[in-house]
Amino acid sequence: MTLAQLLTVAVFVLMFAAIIWGRVHRYIPALVGGGLAIVVLLAVEQQPDLVVKVLNVGQLVQGRFWLPGHEPFSSHGINWQTIIFIAGMMVMVEGLARVGFFRWICLLVARLSGYRIVPVLLTFMLLSAVLSMFIDSITVMLFLASVTIELARLLEFDPVPVIIAEIFAANTGGAATMAGDPPNIIIGTSLGYSFTDFLVNTGLIAWAGMAVALVFFYFASRRALGARHGASHDTSRYPTARSAITNVPAFLAHAGVFLLAIVLLATHAQTGISVALVGVIAAGLTAAVAVRHLRETIVRLDWRTLLFFVGLFVVVGGLEETGVLARLAELIGRISGGSLPIIVTMVLWLSAFASAIVDNIPFAATMVPVILDLSQTLHVDLPPMAWSLALGTDIGGNGTPIGASANVVGTAIAEREGYKVGWGRYLKLGLPPMLLVVGLCNLLLLVRY
């Protein structure tokens, strides 16, 4: 390996180690790593044009960035499509949260299930999976975990098994669409796949996995939830869904923006607009219907996560431009012998186990150029590898409490409210279904492709 390759690998490893260490927010090691990667490209490679290519700011003024038509818009380095889309959806989600949209859905579903504990478990899993198809799973868990704990205190059950089940459903449901989990957004925007492409390919497989997960958590959790799960309750003493809505016109306006965003996402391949433009439209309409809250919304945005993406893409861009990822693709190609079934299996399980140990977002960003290089050098179909990467990173992240951001958020809310979620308890409920569902995904991928 060249000196530049060794240094960029060292930067990448140190960044990952700092993220796993967890003593500082992950955006700090990502930004430091991005800065060091730029230094390597400037001081060792001595090619300023590579830095320009990695930063990739020029694409923001290109018309095809916003309206690519029916041909995918490819880019290297910082994936601004991903960052702008996520930022726009964050603005929309802030508006939905402020008018009580998520709490309304949760309480409505709880009431429809008769406030019985096991039906609440299953319906909240389904709700978590469906919402995570369109909204970032972190946001889904923020509100779902809070409402679950509120119901647990009313119905007197342990919320931890339900929250772990909701986390699993959020990550699995998020695998079904391009908008569901950040790894899918990265994969879709980098490789030019649409919302419909994901829905037709990963969607069917992910929901087959959800069926397995529902059965597993039903049998694994019904005893832990107590003997009262079949008891009837006087539902009049519980909060109604209507109580979550404090301003009906604002609620309807924000719900309308959400529905429009879903329609634009589902049809962006047909309309020819980019997901970045979808994010801008969602944010712009949210700001328009809630001008008075615009400053508050901007302040509450998760700027640290957006900065994390910027630093991460720069580090991965450094690995790509120095040829490290091409060498990794060559290694996988040699081991697999160029066989697509072997490559699909390798990518799926490597993604699953890696994402159970480290955050699945940087892993997905790292692997996208690798599978693209594999496709070009070995002349194997790219889509099956892309679907394997999406399913592996999303569902594999369920394996441990730190495998995905939704896991960290859900367990943190539970512990903040006094419900301890240790590694042992999480692994007992999260790891077995992860292995089952990834195994099912492997089988279905091989049968289908």
Condensed to tens digits (0 to 9), the pLDDT of residues 314-361 reads 998 999 999 998 888 888 889 998 899 999 999 999 999 988 887 788
Whether 145 contacts 410, CB under 8 Å: yes
Residue 442 is assigned to a structural domain of this protein:
no
Is residue 282 in a domain?
no
pLDDT, position 390:
96
Cα distance between residue 394 and residue 360, in whole Å: 7
What the block records as the tokens of 98 is 């402020």
Least confident of 35-39, 234-238, 433-437: 234-238
The predicted-structure confidence for 144-161, as pLDDT tens digits, reads as follows 998 899 888 888 888 999
Which of the pair, 446 or 107, is modelled with greater confidence? 446
What pLDDT is attached to residue 13?
Answer: 92
Does 205 fall in a domain?
A: yes
Residue 33 has pLDDT above 90, yes or no: yes
pLDDT at 235: 65
Write down the pTM of the prediction.
0.86
62: phi > 0 → left, psi -120 to 50 → alpha, else beta; which? beta
Evaluate if residue 94 carries a pLDDT over 80: yes
Q: Evaluate whether 149 touches 421 at the Cβ level (below 8 Å).
A: no
- Would you give the distance in Å from CA 265 to the centre of its chain? 16
Integer Cα distance of 237 and 315 in angstroms: 54
**Does 400 reside within a domain?**
no
Quote the tokens at residue 114. Answer: 């008769």
For residue 20, is pLDDT > 90?
A: no
Answer yes or no: is 327 within a domain. Answer: no
Residue 335 lies in a domain: no
Domain boundaries, position 219? 3-55+101-244+302-322
Is residue 363 domain-resident?
no
- The amino acid at residue 329 is A
Residues recorded for the chain:
449
Residue 328 lies in a domain: no
- CB within 8 A of 96, min separation 6: which ones? 102, 254, 255, 258
Residue 239 is predicted with a pLDDT of 80
Tokens at 46, concatenated: 């001595």
**181-203: string of b/e by CB count within 10 Å (b at 16+)?**
bbbbbbbbbbbebbbbbbbebbb
**pLDDT tier for residue 72 given thresholds of 50, 70 and 90:** low
Number of separate domains in the chain: 1
Residue bearing tokens 């402020």: 98
Q: Which among 125, 75, 172, 127 has a CA at the least distance from the CA of 393? A: 172
Handedness of CA 192, 196, 200, 202 (dihedral sign): positive
Looking from the CA of 349 toward its CB, the CA atoms found within 13 Å total 11
